[in-house]
Amino acid sequence: MIRSEPAPPASRRVRASAASPTAPAPTTGITIYDCGEDEAAAFRAAAPRLGVVPTITAAALSEETIGLAAGSRCVSIGHKHRVSNATLLALSRAGVRYVSTRSVGCNHVDVGYAEAVGITVETVPYSPDSVADYTLMLMLMTLRHVTSVIKRAEAHDYRLHELRGRELRDLTVGVIGTGRIGGAVVERLRGFGCRTLAHDTRPTTAADYVTLDQLIEESDVVTLHTPLTPETRHLLDRRRIERMKRGAVVVNTGRGPLIETEALVTALEDGRLGGAALDVLEGEEGIFYADCGDRPIENRLLLRLHRLPNAIVTPHTAYFTDHALADTVERSLGNCLAFLAGGRRG
């Protein structure tokens, strides 16, 4: 069953909200973890206006850094590091009752365990345009063989590519998951004049909704925008990849494990698929967001993808815009303040 990204299964008890905070007390303390320099600057600018006294650190939330949250009932975390259950238990014992994760997904937190130890976890919706724009860019780059074109130009080889590119208006694009991000992708595709198919258990936008199998079989481009759940892990598995049109293209800006990567790479190497553009990847943890130039990369599937002329890999960066940053900072603080003002929300 496929759900759009703002609506994870109820069993996970995660709420995504963008509440406007009630007028906060001037001494509200919130600890903010995993904060880059530009994020820190944005938090420092927003905090006084909202009446927040922030404790900001570049360190990830862990058992070693929980002391920074002393006196805070709310913390804000990034999505780049997994939070262990031991850390959640220690956080609860330190008096923290609310975690705002600055992401639309929460695969890095065991939400059920957090609830069991008395901690509410909420996600933060940010500009869907950031990911939707990036998704369209990846589609176009893949259809026009941009990886090979750029590599040739860098080697001063300015000959035309052996294969001509394809135009979106001549193709069928299948969008899996039509929540805020998938719906924004559908809106953008209308301007290209292509046929658009969609699949979601809860249709939310004007689109031609079909079964997942029909979408897989008829689409020239398949793009994924559904959350990662036990039901959607390896949604594009070997069987479905084998049923895709020969020469089809896959784009993934959702979550890496939505695709059975081994099967995808094999299909690309065999020439059965025409290309793939992946902003997320199985096993990206410890690789993406790090400079790996001085150490070997253990993820052999990533290395195989890098060798392919028809594959694009980017390091989980679709969300990375100034607008999305502003949304994330404001809403993370706002959600913390709303929780403190009214406790658990529906």
Residue positions annotated with a catalytic role: 255, 284, 316
Instruction: Give, as one character, the DSSP assignment of residue 106.
Output: -
CA separation (Å) from 142 to 53, 305, 314? Answer: 46, 14, 13
16 contact partners, CB below 8 Å, separation of at least 6: 6, 104, 122, 123, 124, 125
DSSP code of residue 21: P
Give the total residue count for the chain.
346
| Residue 43 tokens, joined | 């938090």
CA distance 174 to 141: 17
Please report the sign of the dihedral spanned by the C-alpha atoms of residue 300, residue 302, residue 303, residue 308.
positive
Going through the chain in order, the beta strands assigned E by DSSP cover: 15-16, 28-32, 52-56, 74-77, 98-101, 120-123, 172-176, 195-199, 208-209, 221-224, 249-252, 275-278, 311-313
Contact in structure between 212 and 258 (CB atoms under 8 Å): no
Nearest to 125 by CA among 14, 223, 42, 200: 14
